[in-house]
A = this chain, B = another copy of it.
Amino acid sequence: MESQKSGAHCILFKNPPFLDQTGAVAGPKEGAGPLGANFDVVYDNIKLGEKSFELAERRMMEEACYLALGKGMLKPEDMDFFLAGDLMNQITVSGFTALAMQVPFLGIYGACSSLAEGLGLAAILLSGGYGEKIMMATSSHNCSAERQFRYPTEYGFQKPGYAQWTTTGAGAAILISGGQGQGLRVTSFTVGEVVDFGVTDTYDLGSAMAPAAASVIDYHFTEMQREPAYYDLILTGDLGQVGMQLTLELLGRRGYDIKDRYNDCGAMLYYPHQKVEAGGSGCGCSAIVVLGHIKNLINTGQLNRVMVVATGALHSPTTSYQGENIPVIAHAVTLEK
């Protein structure tokens, strides 16, 4: 049996699967941002006409799945597995979406790193011969997340300038096992460890997560023996303005200069006047930017090789109340045409 690993963290797929159809559903603020035209559906109502924010989030994830399936003229029963994760306690958005899909389901949790965990695990399954078609999805909703992790948005709590705005959005992707042919593929998956650099402020997640992003980018280049120039774009998931600067600085100390090809989903998703403080965050942020916008740029030839580094903060309100630091993680997947 030939190893599919290139080092302690990096898997280079022998049979890289296609990243085929995707669905991206966005909330009103995300639709009004600079990437709004890239999303399949934009809602002008934060509740999507549902009774609760939680039902609204579930509707977004389900709709993202049906959009991806519909574009590929596929049915849920054509899928071998459904992998999904979200920020709600007990990942209930994913669990209830899996109930709607009726596809063998594996729940994942990596906070906002879930997009990379889902894409990477789907590619692991396909490249390993465990199926032919897999759907994955992640989501977040500003109001369901804020009231669970911080305060209900109706309370009007004012956040510091380094805080981020939890994105309202859901993305789904269908991955199809390799074979020959042209197309966008998931070519590698670099799995990070959990790190803790002593940040305790749950509004300062950009600073907390930046060291995880820098580590996993370093692991990828070192283990793959690649230079940053291999990629047209290195894209972190939701570090925002604060975490971006810190990531550049941390990578600089390790001898990498990526600033001519670096961006962050959370920084791209909103205009400055939209008052999102340091940028977007949440499982839905990287999901709609990567599966809505970046995928289009690759498919139209504007980008060829992209590294997506999704970062997640693995604390809970309970661990923070109990005085713990914020443990963080990052995983990277590479998308190549």
Write the residues of chain A forming the contact surface with B, with a CB cutoff of 8 angstroms: 1-5, 8-9, 11, 14-15, 51-52, 54-55, 80-81, 85, 88-92, 95-96, 98-99, 101-111, 117, 121, 124-125, 127-131, 148, 177-178, 191-196, 314-319, 322, 324, 327, 329
Contact = CB atoms under 8 A, between A and B. Distances in A.
A130 to B, nearest CB: 5
Given A52-B322, A90-B316, A99-B327, 13 more contacts: A2-B129, A5-B129, A54-B322, A85-B109, A89-B89, A90-B314, A90-B319, A95-B329, A96-B194, A99-B195, A103-B193, A105-B192, A124-B130
5 contacts: A5-B131, A89-B89, A90-B315, A99-B194, A104-B192
B91 A106 contact: no
Given A107-B117, A109-B108, A95 B314 contact: yes
B327 A191 contact: no
Given A15-B1, A108-B106, A194-B105, A89 B329 contact: no
A129 B4 contact: yes
Contacts of A317: 89
Contacts of A15: 1
Given A102-B193, A107-B109, A124-B124, A89 B318 contact: yes
B324 A88 contact: no
A302 to B, nearest CB: 32
Nearest to A103: B193
Given A5-B130, A129-B1, A319 B96 contact: yes
- 3 closest A-B pairs by CB: A128-B128, A95-B314, A104-B191
A81 B109 CA distance: 15
Nearest to A329: B105
Contacts of A121: 106, 121
A124 B121 CA distance: 10
Contacts of A327: 95-96, 98-99
Contacts of A125: 124, 128
Contacts of A99: 194-196, 327
Contacts of A92: 314-316, 318-319
A211 to B, nearest CB: 12
Contact of A111 (B90, B110, B129): B90
B193 A105 contact: yes
Task: Pick from A51, A130, A178, A324 the residue with the most CB of B within 10 Å.
Answer: A130
Contacts of A177: 1
Contact of A107 (B11, B54, B148, B314): B314
Contact of A4 (B90, B108, B128, B319): B128
Given A1-B15, A98-B194, A105-B194, A319 B54 contact: yes
Nearest to A91: B109
Contacts of A52: 322
Contacts of A105: 191-194, 329
Contacts of A322: 51-52, 54-55
Contacts of A5: 80, 129-131
Interface centre among A51, A55, A98, A117 (most CB of B within 10 A): A98
> Taking each of A104, A193, A329, which has the highest tally of chain B beta carbons within 10 Å of its own beta carbon?
A104
